[in-house]
């Protein structure tokens, strides 16, 4: 739970505006302490973050509030993703597999991609652009939620398998902790980053998704990594990543990737090509390729 001032800090919305949006549009309904102070939970902070972005994109406050109260995640999807470009490669294989639940084709597609190309090229030039297109196909109703989960699960298994079977990094080399902040579940991009980073000789401690801030701080204090890497795959992830970055910055270098990385103060953005960013970080840390 967050006070008005802390919610304002995490969302970038002045406290007076928070109260106005609450009173006029009912976009959030904060709890009250026995002393009658407002307290905002994670869901309220996520809604306010999305509403701020909609208003900055030119929506009226009333329009933005209506969309956020109906479905904040759907409203966020309508915003352009920073750093996104039109892919120059074929990205419809995964969509076709999701539509038909074609297991052999999906396995063949993933196997051939990882066998023929360096992992940086696989991640940046085919895999992640294909997953973006898969998500759009789901939003347009061209792919069912089951089909999208079917493909995403297969991709997750392949990335995890590749990560696990790579040779261990040399002892005494650089270590990086990688994962997602509390409430963040879109894991494929950050797992792909971790896989590429490990392939370049960096000892990666991968923590996965939805990790509470206390666990992040405890892990970093215990193993003292050269850096931590967080991701902001969706607009709704921003408040939790901002909070985690603020807590971790005094302990180590904080790097951030994902579509909304440029909105995290106090953290260094990695850029919007996960594979190339991992490769560059390994070079920067002096790891063995």
For residue 65, pLDDT over 50 is answered with yes
- Compute the distance between CA of residue 226 and CA of residue 204 in angstroms, rounded to an integer: 11
Please give the Cα distance from 192 to 214 (Å, whole number): 25
Structural domains in the chain, sorted by start = 4-77 (1.10.1660.10), 93-165 (no CATH), 175-285 (3.40.50.280)
Report in angstroms the alpha-carbon separations of 260 from 97, 107, 239, 265. Answer: 29, 31, 11, 11
Backbone angles phi, psi at 174, to 5 degrees: -65, 145
- 161 or 289, which is more confident: 161
State residue 86's pLDDT score. Answer: 45
How big is the chain by its Cα radius of gyration, in Å?
A: 20
- pLDDT confidence band for 274 (50 / 70 / 90): very high
SS3 state of residue 24? helix
State residue 160's pLDDT score.
Answer: 95
Name the helix (H) or strand (E) containing 176. strand 175-181
How large is the angle between the packed helices 61-77 and 15-25, nearest 10 degrees? 100
Higher pLDDT: 288 or 255? It is: 255
Identify the pLDDT of residue 14: 84
Instruction: Tell me the per-residue pLDDT of 92-135, one tens digit each, with 9 for 90 and over.
Output: 899 999 999 999 999 999 998 888 778 999 999 899 999 988 98
Residue 137 has what pLDDT? 87
Q: Is there a contact between 259 and 84 (Cβ–Cβ < 8 Å)?
A: yes
d(CA 160, CA 94): 18
**3-state DSSP assignment of residue 184:** coil
d(CA 160, CA 163): 5
pLDDT at 20: 84
DSSP letters for 233-273: -SGGGHHHHHHHHHHHTTTSEEEEESTTGGG-TTSEE--S-
Q: Is the pLDDT of residue 89 over 70?
A: no
pLDDT in the model for residue 58:
74
Task: Give the whole-number percent of the chain exceeding pLDDT 70.
Answer: 92
For tokens 């261990």, the residue is: 168
Q: What is the mean pLDDT of the chain?
A: 86
Q: Residue 287: its pLDDT value, please?
A: 62
Write out pLDDT tens, residues 227-237.
999 999 888 88
Report pLDDT digits (tens) over 188-204. Answer: 999 999 999 999 999 99
Tokens found for residue 100? 């038909």
User: What is the rounded CA–CA span in Å between residue 226 and residue 194?
Assistant: 15
Higher pLDDT, 285 or 63: 285
pTM for the model stands at 0.76
C-alpha angle 224/226/230, rounded to 5°?
Answer: 95
Question: What is the longest distance spanned by two Cα atoms in the chain?
Answer: 64
Residue 35: the pLDDT is 79
What is the Cα 175 distance to its own chain's centre?
Answer: 21
The Cα–Cα gap between 150 and 55 comes to: 35
């Amino acid at each position: 739970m967050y006070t008005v001032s802390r919610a304002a800090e995490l969302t970038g919305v002045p406290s007076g505006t928070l109260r106005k949006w609450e009173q006029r549009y009912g976009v959030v309904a904060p709890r009250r302490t026995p002393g009658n102070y407002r307290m905002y939970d994670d869901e309220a902070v996520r809604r306010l973050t999305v509403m701020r972005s909609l208003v900055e994109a030119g929506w009226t406050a009333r329009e933005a509030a209506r969309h956020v109260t109906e479905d904040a995640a759907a409203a966020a999807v309508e915003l352009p993703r920073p750093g996104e470009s039109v892919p120059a490669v074929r990205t419809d294989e995964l969509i076709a597999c999701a539509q038909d639940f074609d297991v052999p084709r999906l396995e063949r597609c993933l196997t051939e991609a990882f066998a023929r190309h360096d992992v940086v090229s696989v991640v940046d030039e085919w895999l992640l652009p294909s997953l973006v297109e898969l998500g759009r196909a789901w939003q347009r109703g061209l792919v069912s939620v089951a089909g999208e989960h079917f493909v995403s699960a297969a991709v997750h298994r392949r990335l995890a398998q590749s990560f696990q079977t790579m040779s261990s990094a040399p002892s005494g080399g650089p270590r990086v902790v990688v994962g997602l902040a509390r409430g963040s579940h879109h894991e494929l991009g950050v797992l792909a980053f971790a896989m590429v980073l490990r392939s370049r000789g960096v000892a990666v401690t991968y923590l996965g998704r939805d990790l509470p801030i206390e666990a992040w701080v405890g892990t970093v204090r215990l193993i003292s990594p050269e850096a931590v890497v967080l991701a902001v795959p969706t607009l709704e992830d921003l408040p939790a990543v901002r909070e985690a970055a603020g807590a971790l910055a005094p302990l180590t270098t904080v790097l951030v990737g994902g579509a909304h990385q440029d909105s995290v103060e106090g953290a260094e953005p990695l850029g919007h090509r996960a594979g190339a960013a991992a490769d560059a970080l390994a070079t920067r840390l002096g790891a063995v390729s």
